[in-house]
């Protein structure tokens, strides 16, 4: 199963008055995981954008299971949950490194568009990008 793992240490600025990671940081962490996942396929986000393909967010879900705290080492595990010609859904699990405690899980849904934000059929518009993602999706199942 194709997955990427993105590790980092929680920064003080990411925590709230209670000393736990503020919920607004998880979408940023998901983006870091998604960017790393695309790299594991052999292409960067900027290369995809240079070919005229954008991936705007259309839905975000996150479920919190346990608190992350300042200086925790966390790992974002990213995979593809769904993939079509017009959309892609990434799935994320956030763990505390070492203990393996599940901190959160979520998903983001994205549409394939042009720079003008017009929806496209990825297979027709950019068959090479479609093929890379399709192979990654097949390996994620």
Q: pLDDT of 19-34, one tens digit each?
A: 999 999 999 999 999 9
pLDDT (mean) for 81-109: 96
The DSSP secondary structure of 28-72, one letter per residue, reads: HHHHHHHHHHHHHTT--HHHHHHTT-B--EEEEEEEE-S--BTT-
Task: Give the pLDDT band of residue 2 (cuts 50, 70, 90).
Answer: confident
pTM comes to 0.94
108 pLDDT above the threshold of 80: yes
The CATH number linked to 46 is 3.10.129.10
Pairing outcome for strands 4-9 and 73-83:
antiparallel
Residues 110, 85 contacting (CB under 8 angstroms):
no
**What DSSP designation does 86 have?**
S
Share in percent of the chain as helix, strand, coil (round to 5): 30, 35, 30
> By residue range, what is the domain housing residue 34?
4-140
Number of independent structural domains in the chain: 1
**What pLDDT score does 14 carry?**
97
* Structure letter (DSSP) for residue 133: H
* Res 33: pLDDT: 97
1, pLDDT greater than 80:
no
Active site residues: 16
């Amino acid at each position: 199963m194709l997955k990427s793992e993105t590790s980092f240490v929680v920064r003080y600025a990411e925590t709230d008055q209670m000393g736990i990671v503020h919920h607004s940081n998880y979408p940023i962490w998901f983006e870091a995981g998604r960017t790393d996942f695309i790299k594991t396929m052999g292409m960067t986000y900027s290369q995809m954008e240079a070919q005229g393909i954008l991936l705007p967010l259309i839905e975000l879900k996150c479920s919190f299971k346990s608190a992350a705290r300042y200086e925790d080492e966390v790992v974002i595990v990213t995979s593809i949950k769904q993939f079509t010609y017009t959309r892609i859904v990434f799935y994320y699990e956030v763990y505390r490194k070492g203990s393996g405690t599940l901190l959160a899980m979520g998903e983001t849904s994205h549409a394939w568009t042009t720079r003008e934000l017009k929806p496209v059929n990825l297979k027709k518009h950019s068959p090479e990008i479609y093929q890379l993602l399709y192979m990654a999706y097949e390996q994620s199942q």
